[in-house]
Structure formats: structure tokens, C-alpha cells
Amino acid sequence: MNELNYITHQEIIKNFTDIKERIIVAAGKADRDPGAIKLIVVTKKFNADAIKPILDLGHCDFGENRIQESFNKWPNLLEDYPNISLHLIGPLQTNKTKECLKIFNTIHTLDRLKLANALDKEINNGGVSKKIYAQVNTGLEEQKSGILPKELDRFLDDTKIMNSFHVTGLMCIPPVNEEPSLHFSFLKKLSDKYNLKDLSMGMSSDFEKAILFGSTSVRIGSGIFGTRG
């Protein structure tokens, strides 16, 4: 894990406060309630020392993209800050579902039926309910995970039989070289069509646009902690 000594706690707090302010402004422009937009602070590749100032401000929602890294970092913090809610925003292997469910509250990256079945089984065993969103590959990118838009209908239908959870939201990561608004408006249309309330979209570079198109969770890392080494 990188030790990013060049960003101070004061700078982290300032960045965090600025982002919160920008969320409020963007919500205002979209005529939306800022309270309906969750800020998920993405802490991948940043260590406990960098995260502490934000925890001490009382912030609760944090995102990670790797199970192993999350287990190295969060169990101790979860003891000290029991109100933390952890979001998995990276790919999940079927053989890691049990571990994943031990510390994550929301999974943004359900992308195949095999994983849905594994999660259903483990959530039933563990007895703790979770929020689960389906990741949609809106850019039809081969290297990116996510359900293809044309397969979403069938996928959502197939997951209706799961008795431990229902998919309540959609998530996307727009292709890097395309206008993100097109992807955000497309995901919003899909969420309306299927009546899914949660929309996880928007990162440091494009979260204001995502809010304009109805995002309910923005996932922000570098905008708070600086660039990842």
C-alpha cells in the first residue's frame, strides 16, 4: 500500500469538505435533495492514516475495490468506528463471497448469475441482509465487467427468485474516452424502466454530471486523497 506523505490531513479534510459542498451545489442545479445523494469515499490504495481524518468527522460510507486490501485495512477501523458502512465497488470472485459479506454492507458490482446464486446462498447462511446493485456495462467494453444492457432484462428476471436479496440499484463506470453524460442518462433510463431506486454513478471527474442525471451514490477517491501512486 502506498504511503502518500505529500498530502496532509488538512488537505484531505479540505478536499472532502469541498466535494460535499459541490454535491450540494450540483443537487441544487438539478433541483434535487442533496440528502438523497450519498458520498462514498473511495479509499482503495490509501491507508488507515489517510482515512482517519474523515472518520473523525463522522463520515460513514466508504468504498473499496479489492477484498484482500479491505481485510488488511478495515477490521480494526470497524471496531473503533462501528457505524461505518462499506461498499464493494470492484469485481467479486465467487469464492470470495463469504469473506466479502463479513465486512461489506452494499455490493455495487453484481455482474453474473453465478455470483448472484453464491451471494444468495451465503446471505441466507449468514442471516444479515445486504444491498445489492447490478453493474451494467453501458459502454459494451470487452475488458470491463458488467451485464450487457440487452441482457439486463433477463438477468433481473433471473435474480427475482433469490430469496435473500433483491437487486435495488444499478451501477456503471463509463468508458474513459466517452462523454459520461450519455452513459449516466442511459443508466437512469434503465433504472426508471425497472423501477430500481439506487443509482451508483459518478466519480471525481464527473460526479456533478452524474447528479444531474439522478445519481444517488457518487464514488469519490482521487478528488479527496489525491492521485493514487
The residue ranges that bind ligand PLP (CB under 6 A) are: 42, 44, 65, 89-90, 173, 203-205, 219-223
CA–CA dist 112, 109 (Å, integer): 9
CA–CA dist 144, 11 (Å, integer): 33
Q: Which is nearer to ligand PLP, 168 or 222 (CB)?
A: 222
Cα 57 to Cα 13, 75, 86: the distances in Å are 9, 19, 16
- Shortest CB 133 distance to ligand PLP, Å: 11
Q: Would you give the distance in Å from CA 149 to the centre of its chain?
A: 19
Q: Which residue has the cell 457505524?
A: 83
CA–CA dist 82, 139 (Å, integer): 37
Q: Which is nearer to ligand PLP, 41 or 162 (CB)?
A: 41
- Shortest CB 125 distance to ligand PLP, Å: 27
Q: Which is nearer to ligand PLP, 2 or 124 (CB)?
A: 2
Beta-bridged to residue 200, according to DSSP, are 171, 217
- Shortest CB 46 distance to ligand PLP, Å: 10
Q: Which is nearer to ligand PLP, 162 or 170 (CB)?
A: 170
Closest residue to ligand PLP, based on beta-carbon distance:
221
Q: Which is nearer to ligand PLP, 87 or 188 (CB)?
A: 87
According to DSSP H, which parts of the chain are helical? 9-29, 48-56, 67-80, 97-103, 113-126, 149-159, 180-193, 207-212, 222-225
- Shortest CB 4 distance to ligand PLP, Å: 13
- Shortest CB 173 distance to ligand PLP, Å: 5
Q: Which three cell numbers stand for residue 16?
A: 472532502
